[in-house]
Structures are given as structure tokens and as C-alpha cells.
Chain A
Amino acid sequence: MKILVCISKTPDTTTKITFTDNNTKFNSDKVQFIINPYDEWYALVRAIEIKEQSGATVTVINVGGADCDAIIRKALAIGGDDAVRVDVEPEDAFFVADQIAQYAKTENYDIILSGKETLDYNGSQVGGMVAGLLDVPFISMASKLDMAGNVATVERDISGGKEIINVQTPFVISAAKGMAEARIPNMRGIMAARTKPIKVLEPFASEKFTSVKHYDMPKEKAGPKMISADHPEELVALLHNEAKVI
């Protein structure tokens, strides 16, 4: 079985977000970049667990410049077998998904996994787009994935509950919490990752349909209105008369 895991580079969760060039570009100066946690903790780790159970191969794919090699090496240290990097700056989700889909078409992967969304653009787009471009089933927000031969049993979150489904390979999954527990790479994994291959590909011809015109920041709050713990009825009045939410 061949598994492809899509990983993206995102600013660390605690990053203070700022912009440059008249608020048209994200300021990456002094920003610590990490593997998008949903890609790492859930998609990648579950792929590695399946590999450990059934002898699958796990390839990691990233669309990005050479500065992404550090996060790719980490994914390999966690247990990926090899990696592919499409050497182009990711600007638009469709463009990224199309790069992944065009590469995936050449290799016939059984399972393609991504995180449910990225920490930076929060779009929940790439997984579904890859599925649409490859015309294979897409199971979004999956919290459990078990394989028996080429049939998967998947739990996915739905509004007000969850659904348990069966689907045959090939398919694409976007992974949410519950899929796996995060792993920390050990020294053996880190050493092994140094010699694992990263194949660098020229970008495929594609299209971009969206671009960020500018960014802005939420207005700073003046600070909360404090209410005495002895008079919570004042809060009720404020929520009704001032905030008008009850």
C-alpha cells in the first residue's frame, strides 16, 4: 500500500502576526516555522501507524521552496520513508492542490492524507481539491481510520455527531483530532532522516484563482468591563441592554 501525506509549513502557534509592504505580505522575519500540526499530529502519524501495522510506504509531499526542507526532514524523522518537494512558493490553495494531484497521478497512491486545515490560512481546501482533481472519494474531518485490505473504516465528524463509513482505496482524507497521538522524533529517526531521499520537482503548469490583496488586524479591545462577583445580575442587564445578545 502506498500512502502520500501532504504537509505544509506554517508559523508556530504562538507567533505574533505582523505584515509588511503596506499590509500586503506576511512578515516572516524571526518567525519559527513548523509542520502544520494537523498534518503532523494526525495525518502523518496515522500514516506511519498504518505502515507499522501493514508494511505500507509513506511518502511526504510539500509544495514550497528549499526553506521547507527542515520541516520535511522532521516528517522523515517521525517515520516517513521518502519525500517529494515541488519547488515553488505556495500562493493559492488550488495551485498547491493541483501540484499535489498532478504528482500523485504519476504514482497511484492508495491513500492521500492531509490535515483538516492549516494554521495560517484556515481554508480546509487542499485535501478536498486533490480528491476532486483525482476524482476519488474525499472524507473530510476524519477522526479515525482503520484499514482492512483495501477497505477503510473511517469515522468522520458531522454536524451534531459522527458518521462511520466504509470506503475503498484510493481515497483522500483530511485528518482531525482523534486520528492519532502526536509523536516526538527519536534520535534514531533523526539520524535516519538525514539519509532519506527528498526528490525536488519542477512545478507543474497550473492556475491560481485567488490572491491576498491585503491583510488587516482585529481592532484592539479596550479591555473588559468588570462586574462584581457579588452582583452577577449586572452582567445579565449588560448582556441584554448593551451587548444585546440575550
Chain B
Amino acid sequence: MSVLVFVEASEGKFKKPAYEAATYGAKVSAMLGVEAHALCIDEADEAELKTLGDYGIKKVWFVKDARLKNFDPLVFAKVITQAEAQINADVLVLIQNYNGKAIAPVLSAKLRAGLVSGAIDLPLKDGNSFLVRKNVFSGKAFATYEMHSAQKIISLIANSVAPEKTENSAVLTEFKPELMDADFKITVKEVVKASGTISLSDAEIVVSGGRGLKGPEHWGMVEEMAGILGAATACSRPVADIHWRPHTEHVGQTGIAIRPNLYIAIGISGAIQHLAGVNGSKVMVVINKDPEAPFFKAADYGIIGDAFEVVPKLNEALRKFKAGN
């Protein structure tokens, strides 16, 4: 009996979502009175793998197989199901990022286990009921799901649970999955990384611009603010559609849905489709010269004013603040 957390590293290092998943898994294991294990398929060295112990993981299973360098959900699910069988996991935890969205449903099919994807809270046990809460209707409501299967899979939205350190150390064990060459059916030809930017789905702060910025040549001040805050940059759909900014930056219902701690929207009116992708943000700041912009209704803080006047002043204030903190 255990909880198994699937963690991903990036260039050998864990980012915050891995520690969020570890913390979540450790808390679920404490609730169920079982051990928390983690499985890492990426190349991470011993010291890095041990850091998972700081977040409550008792045993870290790592896999060394060069064939797993490329991502294939079917193969990754096969490795996870083999690990799950070995350690007899009751609950599997993943992060609902690009890879998690691909692996979790395949795992659910293979294990014939219930899946709640996009969980935002720790599960609750109510008698024999195992309850997990998530956003539904594009953030307009929440649903509490009851999971009926013996094994349960939960994929957690990043930035939903804060990583929590505990007094603990993890035992590292190599896990050797049984894989055949015939299992590998996807060939990766090319990986195109967006250069030098913070990944939107990982970002704790996101600075976003809309049509109110009038042209791509005005994005310098948005990038400047992102630089000061260590934030990712984003944009609204029309801005991506008219190619002022790349589609990888488009947040909203048809683009990427994000849940940063702070979302700063500059010159974005706040159409319902845009809000659907960002309304999970903890704090929203809206800067718009139109006092009737619907985004103000959803915002926590607002400034009515011309972005070309407000943003440089705000950047200056942020720079001063950062220098003193």
C-alpha cells in the first residue's frame, strides 16, 4: 500500500511542480496511513533525487534507460504501471502539465482506475468516499468528484499546493522496467525550445499584453516588467492571431490555461474566453484605459489608465522595490 508520485526533471533538475506533487503525494499518504514513493524517469543525479525526501517522499525510484529520453505516453504509462505493480500503489499522483495530460488518461485505461484530472485541492475522505475537487466549465465552477475504483489517479494543477519541507530523507532505488524495442512507436525528429523564456505553465508570475498595446513594437515594456519580476510573458488571442506574439504565449480558453500566483493583464479587455484561461490565478491586476473593460470585474487590483504612461511608471516602482528587497 502506498502513494506513487510521478515527478519530472528538466535538464536534471526538479522545478517547483515536482515538489508540489511530492508534497501532495506525501499528504495523501499521511491521510491514508501509507508510504509516499516517487518515480523519476528523467536523468537526475543522486543529490537531486534525494531532495524529494525533503518534501516527504520515503522512497525514490529512478529509471536509467536512454530510450526513455523521448516522451511517449504509452511507454511512460507502461513504466509507471510496472512500478505501481511492484510497490502496490493505491493512489498515483501526476502534474497536469503537457506530459501529465498525456500520461494520466493512458494510465487510467491501462489500470482501469478512476482519474480526476486537474485537481486543485487535497482529496478528502468522507467515510468510505474519496473526494477530489477540480475546476469545471472553464473555471466558472468547481466539481467535487467521488472516485469509486480501488486505485485512483489524480493529476494536480501546478500552483495549487505549496511545496512543504519536512524532516525526512529518501531512499533511492533503481527501477528497471521491462521494455521491448517494439514498445517505442513514436520517433522524435526535432525539439524546438522557446529560447530564454520562463515556461508559462511553470511561471508563478505572468505579465500579459493585449490589443491595447497597439503593436508588437511596444512589447518591450511588457518584457521589461517580466524581467524585473522574474515572470513569464503572455498575450491574448487576437494578439497571437495577428502574429504580434507567438502562439505559445496565447493564454485563454483556446490557448494555455494558467494558474499563476500573480497575473498582470495590460490592455486586455477580458473576454469570457480569455478569463476562462486565467481565472485560476490567485491575484489578478488589470491595467486598462477603458473603465468599462469587463476584466475589472474579475480583477483584485485595477488601474484605469493608458498603458504607455502607466507601465513605465510601474516598472520604475517595481525596480525600486526589487532593489530594496
Contacts and interface: CB of A to CB of B under 8 A. Distances in A.
Interface of A: 11, 13-15, 17, 19, 37-38, 92-94, 97, 101, 116, 119-133, 135-141, 143, 153, 156-168, 171, 177-178, 207-218, 221, 223-230, 232-233, 235-236, 238-240, 243, 245-246
Given A124-B117, A177-B247, A132 B187 contact: no
Contacts of A127: 105
A221 B192 CA distance: 40
B301 A235 contact: yes
B104 A128 contact: yes
Interface footprint category on B? 35 or more
A27 to B, nearest CB: 11
Given A125-B115, A132-B110, A138 B102 contact: yes
A155 to B, nearest CB: 9
Interface of B: 10, 71-74, 77, 96-99, 101-110, 112-118, 129, 131, 134-149, 185-194, 197, 199, 201-202, 205, 229, 247-248, 250, 253-255, 257, 261-262, 272-273, 276, 279, 282-283, 285-286, 296-306, 309-310, 313-314, 317-318, 320-321, 325
B202 to A, nearest CB: 7
Given A229-B305, A245-B283, A159 B199 contact: yes
B234 to A, nearest CB: 14
B254 A177 contact: yes
Q: Is the interface of B mostly helix, strand, loop or mixed?
A: mixed
A209 B106 contact: no
Given A132-B77, A208-B148, A229-B303, A218 B186 contact: no
Contacts of A153: 189
Contacts of B98: 140-141, 156-159
Contacts of A164: 188-192
